[in-house]
Amino acid sequence: MAHTQELRTLIARELPNLDLVLAWTGGFDPLSSTPLFITTEADLDRLAVGPMHVQNLAAYLPSLKGRKVGIVTRGCDSRTITELLQENLINRDEVVIFGIGCTGAVNIRKVRTAVNGAPVTDVEIGDDVLTVTTGEETHALRLQDVLMDKCYTCAGQAPRMHDHMVSERSGCLATGETPPSSLDLLEGMDARERFAFWEGHMDRCIRCYACRNACPLCVCKDSCVAQSRDPHWVDQSDTPREKLMFQAIHALHTAGRCTECGECERACPMGIPILAMKQALNRRIKHLFDYEAGMDQESTPPLFMFRQQEETIKERDAR
């Protein structure tokens, strides 16, 4: 397609100055995708972009600090880059950003559920329809129904900063009513139902820590408190209590930093809607401090600062 070709040309021109370029390529079936590390021009043939290519590539940047790296970036990923810059985890002059206008990111899990888990042989992307072929059958799915939760709160499809921008095609194609997100679902519950909701979901958690490993802002690497014996924040028992504790740790350690890229939820092999927790915290932070992470490189994250008079925080009675 024209925009992929344009992206190839842009990367090929810049490649001699770069150690590697982060992009996407197709995965083991037409639905899946995998990150592509481009080091030579021959790799460019495998490059692909589109609604199926969903990983947040910015997650690789902190570990590549010190090397000259190019990265293909959509709107939401660029917020991650801003946040990483804000925390001095990467240097701007070491990163070359190839911007693309996002066309929406498909939640593969939703598609697989819609086709009842049948092996997918072909996927065709229409204007706002996804036509999925499984052997004999074809399913026409509304794009809006199978997007990732983060797409429903999208703050902009084009990256907020870029060095090169693909001009061909832009804009998300999804139209129509938004299906309810996990957070909407939680909103409609009372406290006991919510507690039971998490108990049910956490019971399925296999403690693989994929959510943490995929998170672009979990930068403690081997020093994560989840694996520390002293302090012993979480123990080894296989209970919803310990698993929920870990999710609370993740949510609070990224509070005011999380850009809602949704990698935690995407990486979860059990499909646990853990993004909802972070979205709830972010909504509160927006309400209290009028702050959104990854929007402005010069601003200070709200939990790293304070005001002597907090107009938005009311004192409460113990009664």
Partner 1 sequence: MPVLEGKELRIVGFLCNWCSYGGADTAGVGRFAQPTDLRIIKLPCTGRVNPLFVVRAFLNGADGVLVSGCHPGDCHYTAGNFYARRRLEILRELLDVMGIQQERFHYTWVSASEGQKWKQVVSDFTARIHDLGPAAAFSGCPAVPIDMDETGIKAAG
Decide if 78 contacts 86 (C-beta within 8 A): no
Which one, 55 or 247, has the nearer CB to partner 1?
247
- The Cα–Cα gap between 291 and 235 comes to 34
We find the least distance from the C-beta atom of residue 215 to partner 1, in angstroms, to be: 17
Q: For partner 1, give the closer residue by CB, 113 or 239.
A: 239
Q: How far is the CB of 199 from partner 1 (least distance, A)?
A: 5
Q: Count of alpha carbons within 13 Å of 275, Cβ hemisphere only?
A: 22
Whole-number minimum distance, CB 255 to partner 1, in Å? Answer: 5
Comparison of 168 and 193: residue with beta carbon closer to partner 1: 193
Chain Cα centroid distance, residue 103:
15
Find, among 245, 235, 240, 236, the residue nearest to 199 by Cα.
240
Cis peptide bond upstream of 231, omega within 30: yes
Q: CB 274 → partner 1: shortest distance, Å?
A: 11
Shortest Å distance, C-beta 304 to partner 1 = 9
- Three-state SS at 307: coil
CA pair distance 174, 207, nearest whole angstrom: 34
Closer residue to partner 1, CB minimum distance, 16 or 231:
231
Report the interface residues with partner 1, using CB under 8 A. 186, 189, 191-199, 233, 237, 239-241, 244-245, 248-249, 251-252, 255-256, 276-277, 280-281, 283-285, 288-289, 302-303, 306-308, 310, 313, 315-319
Can you state the angle between helices 275-289 and 240-253, rounded to 10 degrees?
A: 40
- The position carrying tokens 């000259």 is 68
Q: Smaller CB distance to partner 1: residue 45 or 192? A: 192
